[in-house]
Every structure is written in structure tokens, then in C-alpha cells.
């Protein structure tokens, strides 16, 4: 018999326990059956867990029936043919009955219950009777749909057996049915009878992973279901639960590698310990966590063991500390934290995990991202479209998101368009699902050229000062000759923080306090200005986060008075340092300031783009010097 995803078994006198409703399929209404028994269905539908919630399972795990780990069946009935000496049932997910299951029925049967179907499918069936003369007659032909989530396995002598498929994951896919099963042992205390061995084999299971220790199963050398095409492997778990996770139990690594190998080879695998609760629960914890099953659903799957009829109970608080430990690992999502635990601590290959996820979730996940080379140099102002190499070939690069460690150095769009902003180093992180790769972007520091003149208000002004601070990062373009600290000592390169691992980065001004003129952490320069001449004071500003900033007292440009004076000037806008004084307006209205009070030009209002700010004024002779000073300049450019 070919690989089958379900097994059919007759219970001629059984009472159907499945929920029946109807579904419109291709314009025809067909019955729909819930494959979960009523206890399990209610538990799954009505319970949602948070991390430290008390268990709610006790309200649902009640008898009868004694076996609450069994699925509901789909009952079929028909009218027998009096001339029939034999009958056959044909069932398929194809309306043309491609590769159907064939079941021989008793000649007088008029009912049949089907078990171990897959939820979310439409099935087609027909009953064919054959007379003594060899004539065939179709006694009934119809279809039905199935629903539910957890696929428990019907096997009278098998316990706690269920498919790992059906659980919804963070990315929206559901885990594939028919590839990974969990449950209790098939020998010693819970020996499968021949009929149930056939059921297991007809599910397609071709590998058995035994998690029991030497004292329990050192005799075992082959699968106990009695089929030679079922591979048997034993990898004892030993220590389990939180102790094993903190110790990075090497058995977990080997068990995951074996499961991944079976999945890749399309060999459905059954893993178990003694009753399928503790050691089995720990491996299921890892397998489901990597796939992105929610914490609530993982608690519920763990507690379903209590429905097994083995008079054993497992409650969610037994694995809460395992979740707490996994959450200590880096990651923005729970499945990313599982991924980092498994790759960093268990040393499981990341490509193997992503290939496992792709197969089990029927989605072509990117398994690796690479930049060649992984360090690039891009000049300020240049753009570059990032195009990383991904595996497998043909994986969707649109699934990659990008972030920059320092948008003041290099920005990157959602589609991977890199823009170099100013000299320094930034890290671009490319991420797809839980896979990440970093690209180092070096933007060279370029010494700014001093222009010969600047044009403002239609007039050309000669550039006479050699000491410039340029770009919103406040890189120095020339030696800081003439600049001093707030206490007056000369300032040169020491005025910049140059620390490779500094929290604020390197090449940032040592200005971390707010506006204190006497602070050693403010810097200033003062130069003389001549009466009767016009001057332009200019600078460029930008913030990383796009906020609008106005009247920032941490960057001040002022004129030093030599006596009571009037001021006439023009500019973007400016205010007096004294809040009580009237404000000279853009149109050059006059105002009087007291002797030795500086006239302070304000920090302008601007958005996220570069702003070139020019203050234009003519020194009427009432000002002796111009001064510029900075304080508290942060890494974000404010």
C-alpha cells in the first residue's frame, strides 16, 4: 500500500461523535465534520493562555469518555445491495479517485466510521457492491469536508498519539500535517496490536525516534510496529525540563538534527518517550517554538497529554520557566528567540532550521543572507541599491527588511536603497523572518572645502573664516584653531570624542550639558568684526529622526556689544537673548539692547532634510566680535 495520510477502521455499532454542519463546495452543500472530540475541541476554542495564568485544562479533561485522546470519526451509512457478496469503500481527496484508499467491507455492512482523517480537507467516497456473478454496482457516492486543528490518532492500544500539524504560526501559515507525530511508546507497557500497527504504518510513518534511556529501552534495535521499512533510532534525552535547557543538553541537538533529516527526506517521523509527556514535551517545545507557534498554543499542546487516559497530568506551569529562559535570548519575536537559542547554545545549523521551517510551513523561507563583500565603502551623498545573495535560489528577496545602526551615517529604505550621509561607520542589518546578516558601511571622512563666497539675499559674501564645523554630525573640517572650551583653554582634536566603542559613537563634540557658558563641555570661538562691513554666518543642520527643532539654545550665534546700540539686520528669523526685549523682525526693524548684552540669533525651525541657515547682518559699528558656541550635541544630531 502506498504512503497514506489516514487510516480507515470499521466500528459498525459505534455512535458517531463528530460535529456535523454543512459547507457549500462548488455550489453543492456537503456535510462538514469536526475531527476533534468534544472535550478537546472546547478546550482549544475557549482557552487562551498568558504566561503565568493558572491552568484551565481541568475544566475540560473530564470523563466520560475514559479515552479523551481519541479523535471523532466520520460516520458513513448506505443501503446494502441484496445481491452483493462483497463490498468495497473507496476514499480519496480527488473527485476522480486518484490513488484512493480501498477498504474491504463485510457483505452486509451498512455503516462505516472513518478515523484519522486530516482537518481542512474535502473527501470523496463511494461504496461499490459486487454480486456473485461479478457485477459491480455503486451503492452510494458522495463527499464531505473536515475541520478542526489538532489531529489526534485513533489507535486503541496506542496512547497520547497526535500529529504536530495544524497549529497556526506567527507568520500566518499552519504546520503541515502528516510529517511529525508524537506520543507514548509502542512496546513494554503500551504494546500496539497488529491492527494498530497497521494504522500507524498506513499513516505513512517511516521513522521512529525513541527518547528513552538505556534502563528503559537498551533491548530495542528496531521499530516495534513490525514493519521493516520503518527506521528505528534511539537518542536518550536524559536530563530534561529547565535543567536541560540551561545545560544545553546535547541530546536536544541530536534529536533536532534527526527530525530535520527525516523531514528533508520526506519520511514522516514519530517521536516518543514512555508516555509522551516530559521528554517528548521538551522536544515538541523546541520543534513548535522554532516554527513560530504562539506561547498560548504551546501551553495547550503540552496540556493535551493529560487527555490521554493514562491517569497522568501535565500542567502549563511545568514549562513556564522554559519560556522564561528562552526569552532571555535576543530576538524581537518568540520564534527568533528559539532560533537564537538553538543556533547559539545547541549549535544547530541555521540553514537546517530554515529548511525545516520551509517544509513544515509550506513556504519558501530564505535560509541565509550574504553580502559579498560584507564591508563596503560609500561616499557621502551617494546611493546604492543593496542586492544580497540569498538561499535557496528563487527565494523572495522582498521578504527582507533593512535597518541602519546610525541613520546619521547611512540610511536605508524598506526596499534596501542605501544612502550615505556623512563620514563614519554604520551597520546595515538585513533580516528575513529570523535570519539576519550585517553589512558594514564605511563612509569616508572628507575635509570640507571652504568656498570663496556664499550668496545670501542676492548678494555675494566673501568667506574669511578658516574654522568651520560642517554637516549635521558636526565633524570637524579643519583644525579647531581659535576654538576654546567654556573655561578658555585651547581646543583642538581633543574636543572630539574618539572612542571606538563609545555609547555615543566617535567624533562627537564633548558637549553633554545644557547651555552652561562656563562648562568645560561647551566650546566656542570668537572673532573680531569690523564696522561698516556685512557678514554671513552660516551652518547646516539635520536631525536623524525627522523631528522639527526650533530655538535650540544649545547652538548659539551672537554678536558682542560695545555699548547701547540699535540693531538692523535680516535673516531666517531671530530673537533677542532677553525675553523682555522687543524682537527685531525679518524686515530689519530696530531694537535697543543694553551694553555688553549679546544679540543671539536663534536656532531655526527645520524638518528632517538638511537646512542651510544664513544670518546676514551689517555691523554698524556697535559690535566688536561675533561668537559661536555649542553645548550638548547628541548622536542624533540635535
Lowest average pLDDT, out of 18-32, 457-471, 607-621, goes to 457-471
Question: CB count, 10 Å around CB of 69?
Answer: 27
Q: How confident is the model at residue 609 (pLDDT cuts 50, 70, 90)?
A: low
**Residues sharing a CB contact under 8 Å with residue 330, sequence separation 6 or more, in sequence order:** 336, 337, 340
Q: Bridge-partner residues for 523, per DSSP? A: 485, 630
Q: How far is CA 400 from CA 13, 158, 191, 384, 604, in A?
A: 56, 45, 49, 16, 38
In this model, does residue 147 exceed pLDDT 50? yes
> Higher confidence at residue 449 or residue 445?
445
Angle subtended at Cα 556 by Cα 625 and Cα 630, rounded to the nearest 5 degrees? 105
Q: Which range, of 47-61, 182-196, 395-409, 578-592, averages the lowest pLDDT? A: 578-592
What is the model's pLDDT at position 484? 59
23-44: average pLDDT? 86
Q: Which residues contact 269 (CB under 8 A, 6 or more apart)?
A: 179, 180, 181, 205, 206, 207, 208, 209, 258, 259, 262, 263
Q: What's the Cα-to-Cα distance from 312 to each of 52, 171, 303, 494, rounded to whole Å?
A: 22, 34, 10, 70
The string of pLDDT tens digits covering residues 514-551 is 344 444 455 667 777 788 777 777 666 555 454 544 55
Confidence class for position 160, pLDDT limits 50, 70, 90: very high
- % pLDDT > 70, the chain: 71
Report how far apart, in Å, the C-alpha atoms of 64 and of each of 38, 79, 306, 491 are: 11, 32, 14, 86
- Give 485-515 pLDDT, tens digit per residue: 555 555 544 444 444 554 444 444 444 333 4
Task: Find the range with the poorest average confidence among 367-381, 405-419, 459-473, 486-500.
Answer: 486-500
pLDDT classification of 218: cutoffs 50, 70, 90: confident
pLDDT of residue 513: 36
Return the pLDDT at 430: 97
Neighbours of 276 (CB within 10 A): 30
Other beta carbons less than 10 A from residue 172's beta carbon: 9
pLDDT tops 50 at residue 174 = yes
pLDDT at 596 over 60: no
Nearest to 217 by CA among 239, 205, 206, 233: 233
At 589 the pLDDT is 33
Nearest to 443 by CA among 378, 375, 374, 386: 378
CA–CA distances in Å: residue 172 to residues 361, 363, 436:
9, 10, 20
Place of cell 540610511: 411
Provide CB contacts within 8 A for 339, sequence distance 6+. 290, 331, 350, 353, 434
Banded pLDDT at 561 (limits 50, 70, 90): low
Q: What is the rounded distance in angstroms from the CA atom of residue 416 to the CA atom of residue 388?
A: 9
Contacts of 373 (CB under 8 A, 6+ apart): none
Q: Does the pLDDT of residue 380 top 70, yes or no?
A: yes
Report all structural domains of the chain as residue ranges with CATH numbers, in order of start.
1-36+71-152 (2.60.40.10), 155-360 (3.90.190.10), 368-443 (2.60.40.1080), 453-631 (no CATH)
Amino acid at each position: 500500500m502506498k504512503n497514506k495520510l489516514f487510516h480507515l477502521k470499521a466500528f459498525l455499532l459505534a455512535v458517531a461523535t463528530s460535529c456535523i454542519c454543512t459547507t457549500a463546495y462548488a455550489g453543492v452543500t456537503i456535510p462538514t465534520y469536526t475531527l476533534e472530540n468534544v472535550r478537546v475541541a472546547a478546550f482549544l476554542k475557549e482557552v487562551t493562555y498568558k504566561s503565568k495564568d493558572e491552568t484551565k485544562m481541568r475544566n475540560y479533561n473530564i470523563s466520560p469518555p475514559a479515552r479523551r485522546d481519541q479523535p471523532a470519526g466520520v460516520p458513513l451509512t448506505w443501503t446494502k445491495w441484496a445481491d452483493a457478496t462483497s463490498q468495497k469503500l473507496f476514499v480519496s481527496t480527488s473527485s476522480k479517485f486518484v490513488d484512493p484508499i480501498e477498504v474491504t467491507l463485510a457483505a452486509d455492512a451498512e455503516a462505516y466510521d472513518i478515523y484519522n482523517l486530516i482537518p481542512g480537507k474535502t473527501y470523496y467516497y463511494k461504496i461499490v457492491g459486487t454480486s456473485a456473478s461479478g457485477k459491480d454496482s455503486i451503492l452510494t457516492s458522495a463527499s464531505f469536508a473536515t475541520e478542526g486543528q489538532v489531529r489526534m490518532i485513533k489507535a486503541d492500544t496506542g496512547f497520547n498519539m497526535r500529529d504536530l500539524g495544524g497549529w497556526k504560526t506567527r507568520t500566518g501559515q499552519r504546520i503541515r500535517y502528516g510529517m511529525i507525530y508524537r506520543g507514548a511508546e509502542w512496546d513494554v507497557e503500551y504494546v500496539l496490536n497488529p491492527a494498530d500497527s497497521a494504522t500507524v504504518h498506513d499513516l505513512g510513518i517511516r521513522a521512529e525516534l525513541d527518547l528513552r534511556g538505556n534502563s528503559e529501552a537498551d533491548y530495542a534495535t528496531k521499530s516495534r510496529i513490525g514493519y521493516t521499512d520503518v527506521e528505528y533510532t534511539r537518542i536518550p534525552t536524559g536530563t530534561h525540563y529547565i535543567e536541560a535547557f540551561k545545560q544545553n543538553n546535547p541530546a536536544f541537538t541530536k534529536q533536532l538534527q534527526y527530525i530535520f533529516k527525516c523531514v528533508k527526506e520526506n519520511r514522516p517521523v514519530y517521536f516518543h518517550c514512555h508516555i509522551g509527556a516530559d521528554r517528548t514535551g521538551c522536544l515538541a517545545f523546541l520543534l513548535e517554538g522554532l516554527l513560530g507557534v504562539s506561547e498560548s498554543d504551546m501551553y495547550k499542546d503540552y496540556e493535551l497529554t493529560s487527555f490521554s487516559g493514562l491517569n497522568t497530568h501535565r500542567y502549563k506551569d511545568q514549562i513556564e520557566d522554559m519560556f522564561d529562559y528562552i526569552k532571555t535570548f535576543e530576538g524581537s519575536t518568540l520564534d527568533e528567540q528559539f532560533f537564537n537559542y538553538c543556533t547559539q547554545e545547541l549549535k544547530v545549523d541555521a540553514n537546517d532550521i530554515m529548511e525545516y521551517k520551509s517544509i513544515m510551513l509550506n513556504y519558501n523561507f530564505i535560509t541565509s543572507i550574504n553580502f559579498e563583500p560584507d564591508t563596503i565603502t560609500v561616499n557621502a551623498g551617494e546611493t546604492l541599491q543593496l542586492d544580497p545573495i540569498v538561499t535557496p535560489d528563487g527565494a523572495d528577496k522582498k521578504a527582507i527588511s533593512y535597518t541602519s545602526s546610525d541613520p546619521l551615517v547611512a540610511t536605508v529604505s524598506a526596499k534596501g536603497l542605501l544612502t550615505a550621509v556623512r563620514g563614519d561607520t554604520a551597520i546595515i542589518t538585513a533580516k528575513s523572518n529570523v535570519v539576519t546578516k550585517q553589512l558594514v558601511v564605511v563612509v569616508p571622512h572628507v575635509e570640507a572645502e571652504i568656498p570663496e563666497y556664499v550668496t545670501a539675499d542676492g548678494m555675494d559674501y566673501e568667506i574669511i573664516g578658516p574654522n568651520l564645523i560642517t554637516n549635521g554630525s558636526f565633524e570637524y573640517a579643519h583644525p579647531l584653531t581659535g576654538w576654546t572650551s567654556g573655561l578658555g583653554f585651547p581646543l583642538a582634536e581633543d574636543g572630539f570624542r574618539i572612542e571606538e566603542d563609545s555609547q555615543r559613537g566617535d567624533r562627537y563634540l564633548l558637549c553633554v550639558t545644557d547651555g552652561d557658558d562656563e562648562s568645560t563641555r561647551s566650546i566656542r570661538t570668537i572673532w573680531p568684526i569690523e564696522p561698516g562691513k556685512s557678514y554671513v554666518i552660516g551652518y547646516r543642520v539635520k536631525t536623524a529622526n525627522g523631528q522639527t527643532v526650533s530655538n535650540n539654545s544649545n547652538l548659539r550665534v551672537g554678536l558682542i556689544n560695545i555699548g547701547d546700540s540699535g540693531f538692523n539686520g535680516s535673516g531666517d528669523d531671530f530673537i533677542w537673548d532677553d525675553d523682555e526685549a522687543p524682537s527685531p523682525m525679518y524686515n530689519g526693524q530696530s531694537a535697543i539692547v543694553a551694553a555688553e548684552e549679546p544679540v543671539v540669533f536663534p536656532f531655526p525651525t527645520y524638518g528632517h532634510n538638511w537646512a542651510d541657515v544664513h544670518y546676514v547682518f551689517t555691523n554698524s559699528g556697535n559690535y566688536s566680535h561675533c561668537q559661536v558656541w555649542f553645548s550638548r550635541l547628541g548622536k542624533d544630531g540635535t
